[in-house]
Structure 1
Amino acid sequence: MCAAPTQGQNLPAGVDVEKETVISGRVLGDDGHPVGGAFVRLLDGSGEFTAEVVSSGTGDFRFFAAPGAWTVRALSSSGNGTAQIQPEGNGVHTVDVLVSA
């Protein structure tokens, strides 16, 4: 069992998006339906592992990061997928990851 926290759509109380860089999104299957229980990994600009969470039942995930180039990789029983995102500043930045077998 992975110790990665399960995610939801709402930001925790006290998060100031004026001061934080948040990367959030959903894991979606080929059919466009959300994929819950996927292991979602955040890799930095050099491809190094930074963090991992488990997508919620509605496919949601969230990371607190820094501005820069990031790769989001999802691994699930429905398949795997990768997406790129490059937030340039603070705020909530959204990216969906499509997984396929």
Structure 2
Amino acid sequence: MYEPIRTKSVHSTMAGTSDFPHRSREEELDIQLAGHLSALLAVTDELRAQAPSADLDAAADRLVAQVCRLRGGTPLRATPGADHGDPVALHRRAHALAGR
């Protein structure tokens, strides 16, 4: 009545039958952490553009080093000179990102 299946299923759930690589939980967490640190770096760059500070420069350098360590590449940086908004709101945003 029914025609038999002739090809291997692409939805195979059996362990070890997958042909594509999977990332480990540690790799996934590193990717997520690098994303959060990159977002924090962008806010730090916005704050640095509004109120230059040696402390913010040092913090940005440490963030860049950590993102490079986690992802192996240089992160994108916010472009200075644009209107970045209220500094108080940026500080709140930075604290929220750091809390992640």
TM tier, smaller: under 0.3
Which has more strand, going by share of residues? 1
The alignment's TM-score, normalised by the length of structure 2, stands at 0.24
The alignment's TM-score, normalised by the length of structure 1, stands at 0.23
Larger Cα-atom Rg: 2
